Amino acid sequence: MDHQPRPGVRTKKSARDRLIRLAASHPTWALGFQDEVWWSRLARPSLRTWVEEDDRLRLVEQAVAKDDPDPKALACYGLLLRADPTDEDADAAMWLRFVDGRPVSDVTIDYLDWCCRKLQADGKEALLLIWDNAAWHTSHQVRDWIRDHNRQVKHQRQGVRIIACYLPSKSPWLNAIEATWVHGKRRVVEADRLLTANQLADRVCDAYGCPHEPHLVIPKKVA
């Protein structure tokens, strides 16, 4: 993209590539490409399919009834973990957590803590985290939590520390998880009926081969 500041993008890409090489040389380190996405119950992705001659598959435009209790879209955190960090075609696992609400710093912290506990159970010692500079990633609250979390891991000599690589704005090609969202939305689309929020979340998890975990919730602030 011509309008992008090239030196800044190259610097971030170099940092990202360095983490990929580090993960490949340390069996107990995990490389994770992280992002959030909204799954809409109404939006219809662009699709192509084989049909009989003179026949067309049409996606019916949907509408939400006034008494429908479900949200029109669901926010979701995702982490893409490659079996071989340096091989883009290697087998990869996707971890998903839906949110009852929207991504915020408190939810991001709960999500990172969940990822670290799962990785620790898998025998990992570090998460090399590649993500963008969304406000709920770069907030003081999240940065402070990561710093304190790493200190605790070092002091207790157990747990999974986090090494974060923040990608520049408008550089989705640097984050491997971005393309998976596009393919996922095409796999879960329903042609002629409106899915409930729970049906949509179940279908998304089935598409990525992961369990439908309990949804993350924005904590209530104590007055």
Single out the residue of 41, 81, 47 nearest to residue 61, CA to CA: 41
Q: Is the dihedral of CA 34, 105, 117, 71 positive or negative?
A: negative
The CATH classification number of 6-41+72-217 equals 3.30.420.10
- Kindly state the DSSP code that residue 143 receives in the 8-state scheme: H
Q: Which two tokens stand for residue 95?
A: 């971890």
pLDDT number for residue 107: 97
| Residues forming beta bridges with residue 216, ordered by sequence position | 99
pLDDT number for residue 92: 87
> pLDDT tens digit string along 75-113?
999 999 987 777 776 788 999 999 999 999 999 999 999
As a whole number of angstroms, the distance between CA 126 and CA 124 comes to 6
pLDDT number for residue 192: 72
Where the chain has pLDDT below 70, the residues are: 1-12, 43-68, 89, 221-223
pLDDT number for residue 14: 78
- Kindly state the DSSP code that residue 84 receives in the 8-state scheme: S
pLDDT number for residue 129: 96
Number of Cα atoms under 13 Å in the Cβ half of residue 223:
0
pLDDT number for residue 79: 98
DSSP codes joined into one string, 23-61: HHH-TTEEEEEEEEEEEESS----------TT----PPP
Is the pTM higher than 0.95? The answer reads no
- Kindly state the DSSP code that residue 129 receives in the 8-state scheme: E
pLDDT number for residue 25: 78
Q: Is the dihedral of CA 194, 199, 202, 206 positive or negative?
A: negative
